[in-house]
Structures are given as structure tokens and as C-alpha cells.
Amino acid sequence: MKKEDLYEPFSVSVQVLEKYPVDKHKHSFFELVYVLSGAGEQRINENKFTYQAGDMFLLTPGDSHCFDIQETTTFFFLRFNNIYLKSSGIVKDNVNRLEHALMNVNQVPGSILKNESDKPFVRMVIDAMIREQVNRDLCWDKITLQLVNTLISYVCRNIEKYQPAEIKDDKEEKLFDILQYIQSNIYSPKSIMAESISEKFNLSVSYIGRYFKKNHGKTMQEYVSNYRAKMIENRLIHSNMRMSEIVDEFGFVDESHLNKFFKKHTGRTPSEFRKN
């Protein structure tokens, strides 16, 4: 299967196609696809989704996909890689939100653009991006970067807002708050200890443990560990970070501590996981 690479932080393009030029293929980068006009079907991994004007899809590295075009289609493509994610043009909070969204994009079936009030603004941002690419007026590159960041923020909101909640009772707002807190503080081990979480929400350690288990189905420690392991997997797959950098970012004592934690959850060391 053909695999495509991207050697710049991001690229923007528009293509009018009657037939998709390549069969099912994979990328080493992220690809955001917006349908400006036309209709057909997209195959992502083993799933099929119909598409029409206004639909948007996000493909992650390693996804295999192709389009079956039924009506001549105008596609907008925004391709971006880890260089973009690490660039100074995007603030750290947005990087963390984006990482969380990318981890959960496959939980949002079909078009990821589901928030009705966002749809006209997304189209305006994309139209503005296309104009900047065509006209290349003064400061066009800086404006394009800001438009890319804006579009990515819309992507994050739609994925976060419409991903299935990992809880049994969607009325339990307190659990949403706890999950949000854990995700926001996953890089700070002390902040996600049971004692710190219970203090944050003004609940006893024993009560918050029972509450979390009852409403989520897993213990709080299981959720924290699983989420942390998934974030590390994301680093290993989508970045070239050294093990020492991952150790520092996630607050491990040393590389041995990281290896022990990761192997417990995946059956492989980080180095073995990255090789495969």
C-alpha cells in the first residue's frame, strides 16, 4: 500500500476531481479533508462514509483511506505533521487539546463537523485560507498560519463535543469535571493522585473513589494510568521525542520508571513499541 510523506509543517491545497487519483493509501501525517462541493463515499480503514458538501474528515497517521467519487468533487486539503504541532505558532494548551482530540477522533463516526453553528464559520475560514494561498499578498504566510490554528480549534471543539462519553450516566456532570481535570493535568503526577483530585473537588478520597467507579465503570487509578499510557503511545507514534524527553514531560523518575510503567500497560517497552 502506498504511503505518503509531508516534509513541511503544513500544506494547503484544493483539488477538483472526477476520480480519486490513488487507491487506498496511508499517510505519515495528519490530513484534514473538507468537501467544498460534490458527493461520494470515503473509505477509512474498514469503514465507509458517504460525503457531501460541507462534510469534514480528519485522518491520522497510519489510517488507510480513499474516495469513491460519485459527483465531481472539490476537496480542500490541510495536511500537517508533528513539526506543526511543536511550532511556536500554537500555544501549549491548544497542543494538549489537539492531542486529546486526535486520540479520540475515531470515536466520532463520519464527518467530524457536527456543530451546526460552527459550519458557516469553518467555511469562511477555509475560503479565507484559499484566498491567501492564491493571492499571496503581504503577510499571507502569517495570516495563513493563524487561519490554520483557527481551523484546528474548530476541529478540536467538534471532536471533544461529540465524542461518546466514557460514562454510563451522561447526567453526572461532576464526572465530566473530574475527567477534564485529569486530562488537563496528565503531565503532573502529583496533581492526578487521588488525594489531590479529592481536594480539588472537596470530596473525601474514599467517596470520590467509589463515585468514580460507580459512574465510570473503572477505578480512577485505572483511568489515569490508561490515559497516561495512551498519551505516551501518541508521543511514540507521532513524534521523534527521545525517551529522556518523555520521562521529563510525564514526570517519571527516570527511563527505567517509564519502561516499567509502559510495559505493564502494553506488554512492550517504549522502544519496542516504537519499532513496531
pLDDT at 239: 75
Q: Are 75 and 14 in contact (CB under 8 A)?
A: yes
pLDDT at 1: 47
Q: CATH says 3-162 is which class? A: mainly beta
pLDDT in tens, 242-267: 899 999 989 999 999 999 999 999 99
Spell out the domain ranges in the chain. Answer: 3-162, 173-275
Residue 52 φ/ψ, nearest 5 degrees? -150, 175
- Distance between CA atoms of 27 and 31, rounded to whole angstroms? 8
pLDDT at 205: 87
Check: CATH 3.40.1160.10 for 173-275?
Answer: no
pLDDT in tens, 15-36: 999 988 767 667 768 889 999 9
pLDDT at 88: 47
pLDDT in tens, 48-70: 889 999 999 988 877 778 889 99
Q: Give mean pLDDT, residues 233-243.
A: 82
- How many other CB atoms are found less than 10 A from the CB of residue 119? 16
pLDDT in tens, 148-204: 989 988 988 888 777 655 444 444 567 878 887 888 788 889 999 999 998 888 888
pTM attached to this predicted model: 0.61
pLDDT in tens, 87-134: 645 555 556 666 666 666 665 568 999 999 999 999 999 999 999 999
pLDDT at 118: 95
- Cell numbers representing residue 68 in the block: 469513491
Amino acid identity, residue 132?
A: E
- Cell numbers representing residue 190 in the block: 502529583
pLDDT at 275: 84
Amino acid identity, residue 53?
A: A
Residue 72 clears pLDDT 90, i.e. is over it: yes
- Distance between CA atoms of 83 and 73, rounded to whole angstroms? 30
pLDDT at 170: 44
Q: What three-state secondary structure class fits 1?
A: coil
